[in-house]
Chain A
Amino acid sequence: MKVGLFIPCYVNAIYPEVGVASYKLLDYLGVDVDYPIDQTCCGQPMANAGFEDKAIPLAKQFEELFGKYDYIVAPSASCAAFVKENYPRLLQKEQHFCRTSGKIYDLCEFLHDILKVDKLPGNFPHKVSVHNSCHGVRELHLSSASELNIPRYSKVRDLLSLIEGVVVLEPQKVDECCGFGGMFSIEEPSVSVCMGQDKVRNHMATGAEYITGADSSCLMHMQGVVSREKLPVKFIHVIQILAAGL
């Protein structure tokens, strides 16, 4: 099984440690991981802002770089969801058959559904509040969406339960948006900041030391609020916790 590792642009520049943890974890689990060095961005920021045509050349570039792998994994639910949900339609506009959509997974989803990981070394003796991100929940179905009457589950929680010592908590309004939304955060700054502040407070009210989740973009947004207000809570990507013992 050959896996292409997709490290989205902002993770690459701001949270490389999340990329390192992703690699370590996959490597530990015996996966043959490759990192196509010319990768950049999936195109979601432009598309959500209303310029999805600008994402088409990026989709083609992505296809060329990642089309050959058995699986593509990314430590970012939102980016994986964008490729999965939108690439077939975008590429069809140029009569290109999409090969990557059916093969891309958020890393948590990949660990849970494909590798079916049932044990991991290491311990993380901390209280963490899980951030159920919109695209992770409502597009990739990483956990049961709070609006739906379906059996409750959480793949992120299942994975975290493999790590010794970690206490997993969840905020009130369990999967409400943190207010990032790409360019939404700068086009509607008042609403976006307000959503971020509310979300951080709900996470902190659980008594958690860390806010964790599968989407670095949401964590980045909330971290912006926390740094501005100098609040006593830390951030860690869920993959970093899962790789804690490696």
Chain B
Amino acid sequence: MSTKHTKAADRFIANKEQETWHNETLWMVREKRDRMAMAIPEWEHLRELAAKVKMHTITHLDQYLEKFVSNAESNGVIIHWAKDAKEHNEIVYGILSENNAKKLVKSKSMLTEECHLNPYLINRGIDVVESDLGERILQLMNEPPSHIVMPAIHLKRQEVGKLFEDKLHTEKNNSDPTYLTRAARQHLRNEFLTADASMTGANFGVAETGDVIVCTNEGNADMGTSLPKVHIVSMGIEKIIPDLKALSVYIRLLARSATGQPVTTYTSHFRKPRKGCGMHIILVDNGRSEILGNKEHIQTLKCIRCGACMNTCPVYRRSGGYSYTYFIPGPIGINLGMLKSPEEYADNVSACSLCYSCNNVCPVKIDLADQIYRWRQNLDSFHKADKMKKMMSWGMKFLFMHPALYKTGLKFAPVVNHLPRFMLYNGLNDWGKGRELPRFAGESFTEMWKKGKVQTKNK
């Protein structure tokens, strides 16, 4: 009984030191988030409001998209529509070609990961430079992000030091964070100065104004968009919110939930192109409108990509981002992967003990664990259910539907206690990996009741 997630988790946990460090580091982020949440008396009210506003917006998406587009266009922004990843990438390449741009500097965007934009552009001769420090580190390593907010959280500074020695020619064995950050900054400064075009994601799109809001801690989105002549925004259609008043709710929740900061260092509003420059917004569907019609999973469209569900998830913390087969890990990633392709990403559904902590930290109150429970119910229909689990469930149902058989079972169960150890603890016993089996009582409660040993004398 094992999934791709199980096997990858085995490998991650085999390095106990790394696992403990990863677990505790992300728990620290959860604790920072808690301190922030507890300091705001109206926190639960904000979550409720955020959930409702998102639900309202995605169920009136046509109206808000039209409003957003008309406002953005009157601000001088060029709007593009992409029905899928392929169209999105073609549009980006088209804009770059039109502007004769060879070097693209990007700030962090999970949507461009979703569309596999970087390899697409690199194959066409574009020099793509990630400018978020974590993303840049991973780009230099040729690895994907392992977390949606802290993409390189699985790496220790020593590993970054080694990488920079090799790629940026820093001093040998110097892994001082200030030193390494400065080296990255100098290296990126040159990239910013020589870029022909810039690209950002979007945390929010405000329908009322046509603004695109980008939240960063490093200011890299601002640096990137301030110099080149072209700014391309890649934005999922579910990122729309009605107005600036609504934005104030999400801004209060986003950084507090994500990293335990009251607010990100930079909250940038991009409204119109700079003088003599071009600004493009690509509105991407890529499966989102289909989720709108899915009653059981529509709530995933409320997600503001804060990553709080990952930080609290006891499974994610102990198995790492790369143990999931979808590019977004953790509770939200399990669900988004299944929405993308249940056949391809069913292996992640095992990565949940149904503890429901994710539901409670989610700033927009997505029923993450309930959705995972529901996916499990459907696995059999995709022929992805585990055969052993299916057999065990069938067997249990049979036993529990026959009370007489169940009672006989209870009576003879203690025999198991006396079986030789090799029969109980072997390759077939997954419980026995690290745990002793419970011992059956000499007499079950039912037996005791039947014999009148439980009831008080006067009855």
Contacts and interface: CB of A to CB of B under 8 A. Distances in A.
B406 to A, nearest CB: 5
Interface stretch (A107-115, A157-165, A217-225): A217-225
Contacts of A23: 454-455
B435 A221 contact: yes
A188 B315 contact: yes
Contact of A194 (B5, B13, B361, B454): B13
Contacts of A43: 397, 400
Given A50-B379, A134-B355, A224 B435 contact: yes
Nearest to B458: A27
A214 B447 CA distance: 23
Contact of B434 (A40, A139, A184, A196): A196
Contact of B360 (A11, A45, A138, A194): A138
Interface string A198-232: 10000000000000000000001101110110000
Contact of B1 (A48, A61, A186, A221): A186
A52 B374 CA distance: 9
B390 A186 contact: no
B401 interface: yes
B13 A190 contact: yes
A179 B431 contact: no
A134 B434 contact: no
A61 B397 CA distance: 11
Interface stretch (A98-106, A122-130, A146-154, A236-244): A146-154
A191 B318 contact: yes
Which range contains the number of A residues in contact with the other chain? 35 or more
Interface string A71-95: 0000000000000000000000000
A13 B392 CA distance: 18
A52 B314 contact: no
Given A45-B396, A139-B356, A192-B353, A187 B44 contact: no
B439 interface: yes
B376 interface: yes
Interface in A169-189: 173, 175-177, 179-189
Contact of A181 (B319, B354, B447): B354
Contacts of A38: 403
Interface stretch (B32-40, B172-180, B191-199, B296-304): B32-40
Nearest to B441: A16
B400 A184 contact: no
A19 B449 CA distance: 10
A180 B385 CA distance: 20
Interface string B422-453: 00000000110111111111011111111000
Contacts of B352: 181, 184
A23 to B, nearest CB: 5
B403 A149 contact: no
A35 to B, nearest CB: 5
A58 B393 CA distance: 12
Which range contains the number of B residues in contact with the other chain? 35 or more
By secondary structure, the B interface counts as helix
A61 B401 contact: yes
B237 interface: no
B389 A193 contact: no
A68 interface: no
Contacts of A41: 396, 400
Given A23-B455, A51-B393, A190-B6, A227 B448 contact: no
A49 B389 contact: yes
A175 B312 CA distance: 11
A67 interface: no
Contacts of A37: 403, 446, 449-450
Given A190-B9, A190-B13, A196-B435, A149 B38 contact: yes
Interface centre among A10, A23, A43, A188 (most CB of B within 10 A): A188
A187 B23 contact: no
Interface centre among B352, B361, B400, B447 (most CB of A within 10 A): B400
A48 B448 contact: no
B454 A20 contact: yes
A146 B445 contact: no
Top 6 A-B pairs, shortest CB-CB distance: A224-B435, A181-B353, A50-B376, A193-B434, A147-B360, A177-B355
23 contacts: A16-B441, A20-B454, A38-B403, A39-B403, A45-B393, A48-B376, A49-B393, A50-B349, A50-B376, A50-B389, A51-B389, A51-B390, A53-B377, A134-B354, A139-B356, A185-B430, A186-B431, A187-B389, A187-B430, A189-B433, A190-B9, A191-B314, A228-B435
Given A47-B377, A187-B350, 20 more contacts: A9-B406, A12-B444, A12-B445, A19-B445, A19-B454, A50-B349, A51-B390, A54-B393, A55-B397, A134-B353, A147-B357, A177-B314, A187-B389, A188-B350, A192-B353, A194-B19, A196-B434, A196-B435, A227-B435, A228-B435
